[in-house]
Amino acid sequence: MASVEMRLPAVHKPVSPAASQSNRDDKHLVVPGDVITSDTGFMRGHGTYMDEDRLTASVAGEVERVNKLICVRPLKTRYNGEVGDVVIGRITEVQQKRWKVETNSRLDSVLLLSSVNLPGGELRRRSAQDELAMRDYLQEGDLISAEVQSIFSDGALSLHTRSLKYGKLGQGVLVLVSPSIVKRQKTHFHNLPCGASIILGNNGYVWLYPTPGHQDEEAGGYYTSMEPVSLADREVISRLRNCLLALAAHKVLLYDTSVLYCYEASLTHQIKDILKPEIMEEIILETRQRLVEHEG
Amino acid sequence: MAGLELLSDQGYRLDGRKATELRKVQARTSVFAQADGSAYLEQGNTKALAVVYGPHETRGSRSKSLHDRAVINCQFSMATFSTAERKRRPHGDRKSSEMSLHLKQTFEAAVLTELYPRSQIDIYVKILQADGGNYSACVNAATLALVDAGIPMRDYVCACTAGFVEDTPLADLCHAEESGGGTSLALALLPRSGNIALLQMDARLHQDHLDALIEAAMTACKGLSKVLDDVVRQHLEEVSVLTRD
């Protein structure tokens, strides 16, 4: 008989006045409708609007100043794409010559038939046959990894998968976190030494999968292995998933080192216990400590 | 003759408040992880839960999407257990569609929709316990949820009701006062600019009293905006302490 653990909601801990006091000094926090400045010498950035002659905040967040430009960065938003970002998305629609991809952005992204590598690998014009066979490559519900190629005028993203590292994702686990806690790095694909691989999408979608043995060049990123995944691999992936959720709950930046440290800190606990608030706090504290030591 | 005395000779109301006193407001934001923004708000015994998804691609019929701004989609519902008698409330009954429409109009006045062409913003509000002022609790909860979702707004939208009893305007009516047969006026205000987003009154009232009533409702809205402001700033500080490097 499996026992079920139940708990009552915990008391909401207020921030210590000292911490919020020191915070107030070095950060300029605003809420919608707050006047940032009535000086006309500034430029209006994201998260602000002009109310008559006053520069006013339109979101709740922190004011960022770059020379004359004033922006307000909200705590939580949808993903704002930039060219070159690695994203993970889900196909929502197959249209003529394009796929629509849901990427946690404010409009669905577009993956053009002309910006994918087709199986076979050769470079050629896309024929009518390719258009008819689009659903054989990617169909609704498939997950893909891709790179942002350009941004349309209305803010929608255009993606491409013109590299063997991008393409359809096979077996693995998707974890959704806030896009703001994914650290921008040179590479977002990591083979972690603990025995699994991770793709940290800039859009807050994180993909965990067993480290592939060898890449089949011919398939061009559309080959998905249906081999059963060993129990050991699945346990590593489950542990990583819970670690990612713990890191996200405590707003720790996600990158290979932080994920790995968190994984190592969690090894003394059972996988399911990582999500318990008190154990989560302990693991995160240890992770933060190691990260600080690593930097210093 | 109404059975209840809504305002005593000493100037106290049924629940012991003064004429201009608001009910206790408690709120929390970010109550759900999977939504873009969410908030829970209690205004006396009225409890509302608001969830915001978006801005995202318009789902369903594509003809609904606008090329120059975002569409706001509101859905109001009441829990079966929210009122004194248990009642199943199917989706799309007249009362809740009217309320949804009012919420939509209110937030179209406040949200900077022109920043998100061809998108859609979904606002779902549910009343968990109804004790008068459902509309205002919904607006206040939805405002907090929109701020939590990081959706640009001109200002908070604060809403409050006001009634008129024995030549005295009463702020923030409870259920007993609302159903007592008196006048009830619902007002949604952008407090900093003083612009009115929505004003609704169904009952009859002498023209001379209208200004006093609106004035009372506006004062109440401004009081509420301070409470909402505190909730948002508190949350902002808590999170920014966590994310500080």
B242 in reach of chain A (CB within 8 A): yes
Residue B165 lies in a domain: yes
Query: Count of domains in chain A?
Result: 1
| Look-up of token digits 């803010």 | A155
How confident is residue B1, by pLDDT bands cut at 50, 70 and 90? very low
Residue B20 lies in a domain: no
Lowest mean pLDDT among A73-77, B62-66, B154-158, B240-244: B240-244
**What is the token pair recorded at A102?**
């849901």
The pLDDT tens digits for A203-220 are 999 999 998 876 554 444
Residue B146 lies in a domain: yes
CATH no. for residue B199? 3.30.230.70
CATH no. for residue A53? 2.40.50.100
Residue A151 lies in a domain: no
Of A31, A56, A59, the CB nearest to B229: A31
Inform me whether the pLDDT recorded for B238 exceeds 70: yes
Mean pLDDT of chain A: 88
Residue A128 lies in a domain: no
The pLDDT tens digits for A133-189 are 889 889 999 999 999 999 998 889 999 998 888 999 989 999 999 998 999 999 999
Could you tell me the residue range of the domain that residue B183 belongs to?
Answer: 25-243
Residue A57 lies in a domain: yes
Mean predicted confidence (pLDDT) in A29-46: 92
Query: Count of domains in chain B?
Result: 1
Residue B6 lies in a domain: no
How many residue pairs from chains A and B have C-beta atoms closer than 8 A?
106
Inform me whether the pLDDT recorded for B104 exceeds 80: yes
Could you tell me the residue range of the domain that residue A61 belongs to?
Answer: 27-74
| Dist CA B49 CA B40 (whole Å) | 5
A60 in reach of chain B (CB within 8 A): yes
Query: Contact A59/A74 with Cβ under 8 angstroms?
Result: yes
Mean predicted confidence (pLDDT) in A114-124: 74
Quote the pLDDT of residue B166.
85
Query: Contact A157/A105 with Cβ under 8 angstroms?
Result: yes
Strands A48-51 and B119-129: unpaired
Mean pLDDT of chain B: 91
Helical (H) or strand (E) element with A243: helix A231-249
By percentage, how much of chain A surpasses pLDDT 70? Answer: 88
A24 in reach of chain B (CB within 8 A): yes
Quote the pLDDT of residue A121.
61
Q: CA dist B52 to A35, A60, A89, B73, B111, Å?
A: 25, 15, 21, 10, 13
Residue B216 lies in a domain: yes
Looking at residue A112, its amino acid is L
Quote the pLDDT of residue B88.
86
Q: Quick one: closest CA in B to A295, which residue?
A: B245
Mean predicted confidence (pLDDT) in B59-75: 85
Residue B85 lies in a domain: yes
Mean predicted confidence (pLDDT) in A75-79: 89
Of B232, B234, B242, the CB nearest to A251: B242
B36 in reach of chain A (CB within 8 A): yes
Residue A144 lies in a domain: no
Which residues have C-beta within 8 Å of that of residue A143, sequence separation ≥ 6?
A88, A89, A90, A91, A168, A169, A174, A207
Buried b (16+ CB within 10 A) or exposed e, A91-106: bbebeeebbbbbbbbb
Question: Shortest CA distance to A257 belongs to which of A289, A220, A294, A206?
Answer: A294
Cβ <8 Å between A61 and B150: yes
Residue A12 lies in a domain: no
Residue A158 lies in a domain: no
Inform me whether the pLDDT recorded for B64 exceeds 70: yes
Residue A229 lies in a domain: no
The pLDDT tens digits for A233-287 are 999 999 999 999 999 988 899 999 999 999 999 999 999 999 998 999 999 999 9
| Dist CA B47 CA B84 (whole Å) | 14
Residue A42 lies in a domain: yes
